[in-house]
Chain A
Amino acid sequence: MSAPLVRSLRVVLYEGAGSRSIPDADRFAMMATLLQGGYAVTSVRTGSRTVPEGARTPIVVLGRFENAPPREAESDSAAAPIYFRDIEGVDAPAIASIVESVHAEAGTGRPGGWKPWFPVIDFGRCTNCMQCLTFCLFDVYGVSPDKQIRVQNPSNCKTDCPACSRVCPEVAILFPKYKMGPINGDEVREEDIHREKMKVDISALLGGDIYAALRTRSQESKQRFARERDDKRALEERRKCLNKLQEQLDVPPEVLAALPSLDQIRARTERAVAAAMQGPTPAGTEPQ
């Protein structure tokens, strides 16, 4: 999965050496407020671990400091700036304001603002069949240089739409925030795999065997373009397909409303099929 790397601000609620303890109720309120605001918080109660391992982003250390900031917090500061703020007598809402001001000073990325809804591939189950790539109309999926399916544009995914996971023949696509299993990451049972309603014939949804249609498209192109297009019939077929999508795949109405036109879908499908056909091709072999 590829997405822009954004530096985020990490918060350390420090109650180690040199900082007085915070009452339990206040600690809980502070952490809940900061978490709901999108910040990651490390609660340090004992010991000297004030910089979370792996963190190379700005950190703000909050504490009821007795004197100067503790040495332990300063020792690992080379990778990123560490800010210290005394929170003696400060309540949870005011803590949020303090962190907000540090966030602005540090120039870190804004937390939250987007419900993180995107497919996660269970590569323990995925067979690289590319059905998801072919099916998704919003270019969420792509193919890696080593011909492996991947989630390429997670932010393109339509919130609350789990349709691609329902067409996956191996139940290999997860949406961790989905309401039901196994799409939410619950264990996959045999009945899930064989459940017919989870295996939607995507070609039927698009009005026929798209692979066969694409294979014969070039042969029939002259005839097809010579025929008068029946727009009304095409629109009716599209409407039926969309209704079927909504019913069978639990697709939100707003996603259907954002669907591309039929011509755009066909063009996109051609590109996706071409990519899918190249995907499983062994290295060094020209695609047919």
Chain B
Amino acid sequence: MKTQPRIVYCHCAYAQVVPADVKQDVLRRLTESGTSFDAVADLCEMAARRDPWLAGVACQEPTQIVACYPRAVKWLFSSAGAPLPERGIRILNMRTESAETIAAALGTAADEDA
């Protein structure tokens, strides 16, 4: 049996760049999914203060990060001294994808790992 992917959700609390309806809907679906997950207020803010928790995320795979553009997330982690591994990390973009698409992606992964 494969390891259940860890899910990390970013609420991007300090800016309005992620559509509010998308992030609220994704959060709602996650809270109703019956799955354990980690939610952070803002990955940028954590990276700025080099929160050691990020290193814990970077060293655990498989992990699915629900946030924004993958290139931004990758280098945010790197800037915090917690570079993400090349494999085992999947980044879902709430700036461009719908809540349905993201939920399906998370659900698909869960099904595959079951």
Contact = CB atoms under 8 A, between A and B. Distances in A.
Contacts of A38: 13, 41-42, 45
Contact of A186 (B14, B39, B60, B71): B71
Contacts of B27: 28, 31-32, 35
Which of A52, A54, A116 is most buried by chain B, counting CB atoms within 10 A of its CB? A116
A43 B69 contact: no
Contacts of B13: 35-36, 38, 112
Contacts of B71: 122, 174, 185-187
Interface residues of B, number: 50
Nearest to A2: B50
Contacts, number: 164
Given A8-B51, A53-B56, A40 B34 contact: no
B79 A176 contact: no
Q: List the 6 shortest-distance A-B pairs measured between CB atoms, nearest first.
A: A54-B56, A185-B72, A185-B69, A116-B44, A176-B72, A35-B11
29 contacts: A1-B47, A1-B80, A5-B50, A10-B53, A24-B32, A32-B11, A40-B38, A41-B38, A42-B39, A43-B30, A52-B56, A53-B57, A54-B55, A54-B59, A55-B56, A56-B52, A57-B53, A116-B47, A116-B48, A118-B48, A121-B79, A123-B78, A176-B17, A176-B68, A176-B73, A178-B17, A184-B17, A185-B69, A185-B73
